[in-house]
Each structure stands twice: as structure tokens, then as C-alpha cells.
Amino acid sequence: MKTIAIKPISWDDDHICIIDQTRLPAELAHEHCLTVPQVWRAIKKLKVRGAPLIGIAAAMGFVLGLKRSRVETWPGMLREAERLHRYLASARPTAVNLFWALNRMFNVVRNHVGVEKEELLGYLKREADAIVREDIQMCLRMSRNASRFIKDGDGLLTVCNAGGLATSGYGTALGVFYRAHEEGKSIKVYACETRPLLQGARLTTWELLRNGIDVTLICDNMAADLMRAGRIQAVFVGADRIAANGDFANKIGTYSLAVLARYHKIPFYCVAPFSTLDLKLKSGREIPIEQRDPSEVTSLYFKRPMAPSGVRVFNPAFDVTPSVFLSAIITEKGVIRKPFVRHLKDMYGRLPQKY
Ligand code: MRU
């Protein structure tokens, strides 16, 4: 069966149209972003989310911002581009894809100083479109590189949503499941609900069901029991930022799954494009972790209180998994094994400048 394409973001005439992911699975609602602050809020509030997708949203927001701006002349346009870069980059701190995409957009401006505004907008639109096109190609390549690690009949565990909704439409970790399914392998996916915002329960199960994948939802605290029962043969997760030694940040709860997988001798794979690498950081200790609003923990998905008002809350959006727990990092360029420092550096060194 062919995977159903999801389009979480697209141009609609001169503005941006997104699937509002906070409303899934109750409704598949679209929202139109006409201004840059709307794009910023959509990223901040997780209407668009997932590392690759927030990079794409920011790149498109950058085009929108320069187009809407009244500045027509240089160096005003350069100042405006700097402001847009800073502003959009402030939406979320952990996923490096956001900064990677904005840097690409800013470089286009820098490389065309002096051209007419209309011409510059054309270049910027082309760059944003290229980021989207490349993203889908990267997802397809990652899925091809990773599906060999899945055997017919496997039970597979994932957390959060690293699927079509988190990318331009196919996914990283979930892309691997789509690929295995397309190859005719029978798989059984277990999706952790992913407290507090339930990306696993709301989004992962939604898109896997649409694609005819056998999926079972579990509460986050059920993973150990499933592993001990021998029902999980591999764990596949995405990433928001990977440091030079292979430590990586992903949705809070990933680390505990990695520790459990090691204890139960289950392979644990991180599936992510090269745009998620941040080799400037020596280890995961340097990755900035986003702290989010306590109300995300104390209220039932923004609806009803679930904890006494005023209780102290710890709500990091991500955690860092030390690379010692990783079986491999699977990228669009190939599978990277230990020692990660050497292998990541070698592979990175062979890439074109824009990385
Ligand atoms: O807070 P979110 O929903 O943006 O977190 C997303 C994740 O942690 C994903 O696993 C990660 O971005 C990889 S998406 C391909």
C-alpha cells in the first residue's frame, strides 16, 4: 500500500496554510498565517511542530516577512532580514533545524545584496521551496536506509510524532514504518502517548491509522512491561538536535526508553536528517532544552485541570539520550555507527556547504 501524503504546510496564494496540529485528531483544521507573528505563534504553540517542519515553517515565514515589509532598499532589507531571522529563531530553542533553515534563508539575502526586492523575493521563495523538496527526499532516503533493520512480524516502539506531520509529509522514524509496510512487511507499532501534549496519542496514531499501519497506543509508563514481554524488537525515534558525539535531544521520555531498551537488549535507532546535526556542540550537555508552560502538565490538554492549582511543575519539552544507548543514527546519507564522533565528522566533511 502506498503511503497517504500529508501536507502539514503549504503556500496558499501569498500566505501560508498550516494544519493546526493542536486540533488533531478531533478535527483536521487548517489555519492561514498572513503575518510573521502568526507564523511565530504557530511554531511556539505547536500548531506546526517537529524539528524539520518548524525549519520549513520558519523559512516560509521569512519569505512572508520580507514580502510584507515596506522596506524596498538596501541596507534596510538586510536589517529587516536580520530582524526576521532573530524573531523567528526565538520561537523555540531546541530543534536546530529551525536555525539551520533560517541561516539558509539569510545566506540567500547576503548573496544577493543589491538586487531589486522582487528579484530577491523570487530567490527566497525558491530556497524555501527547495528546503521542502529536499526534506521529502531526505525522508524517503532515511526510510530506505532504515527499513533493513525491520523484520517481518516485528513489534516496534516509537515516541512523540516523527511522521508526516513533523516533516514536509513522510516522516523520519514513522517514515521507516511506512517504508517497511510498503515493502510488504507485517509490523506492529506501539506508540507512546507522549505526555504532556500527547503527540503520540493524538498525531502518531492518527497518521498511522490513516495509512493502514497496525498501531497500538500505550501510556508512557507501559513500555518496560511490553519490552519484558518480548513484544518490542526495535525502537525508532526522531531527533531535534544531535551533538558531535551522537548524544541527541528528542521528546521528553526518549531517554528513559533508551535505558529500557538497553536493559532488555533491544536495538534503539535515531532517525534524523543531517540538518538535525549540530557538530559545534561536543556533547548533549550543551543542547539547550526548552522549558514549557506548567499548564501543559496541570491541565488535560488545555481543557480541564488535572492537578491542584499552583503546584510546582517541571516541564522540559525534551531530554538528551547519551549516544552510548544508540545502536545507530540513520540519516539520508547512510547509517552511522559507533564511534559516532569519528563517523559523524567523516560523513559531515563530505557534504556541500549549505549544511
Ligand atoms: O515538541 P515537538 O512536538 O515539536 O517535538 C517533536 C519531537 O520531539 C520529534 O520527535 C522530533 O522533532 C523529530 S520530528 C521528525
Per-residue pLDDT of the chain in tens (355 residues, 90 and over written 9):
578 779 999 999 999 999 999 999 999 999 999 999 999 999 999 999 999 999 999 999 999 999 999 999 999 999 999 999 999 999 999 999 999 999 999 999 999 999 999 999 999 999 999 999 999 999 999 999 999 999 999 999 999 999 999 999 999 999 999 999 999 999 999 999 999 999 999 999 999 999 999 999 999 999 999 999 999 999 999 999 999 999 999 999 999 999 999 999 999 999 999 999 999 999 999 999 999 999 999 987 657 777 778 889 888 999 999 999 999 999 999 999 999 999 998 887 766 554 4
Among candidate residues 346, 316, 340, 345, the one with its CA nearest the CA of residue 326: 340
Question: Domain 9-139: which topology?
Answer: Four Helix Bundle (Hemerythrin (Met), subunit A) (1.20.120)
Identify whether the C-beta of residue 57 lies closer than 8 Å to the C-beta of residue 19.
no
User: Under CATH, what is the fold of the domain 149-349?
Assistant: Rossmann fold (3.40.50)
> pTM of the predicted model, to two decimals?
0.95
Pocket flag, ligand 1, residue 53 (CB < 6 Å):
no
Q: Is residue 345 within 8 Å of residue 155, measured between CB atoms?
A: no
29 Cβ contact list (under 8 Å, min separation 6): 19, 20, 23
Which residues are identified as catalytic?
240
Q: Is the minimum distance from the CB of 199 to ligand 1 under 6 angstroms?
A: yes
160 CA → ligand 1 middle, Å = 6
Residue to probe by mutation, ligand 1, list 161, 248, 274, 287, most atoms within 8 Å of CB? 161
Q: Is the CB of 251 under 6 A from ligand 1?
A: yes
Mapped onto helix, strand or coil, the DSSP state of residue 141 is helix
In the chain, domain spans:
9-139, 149-349
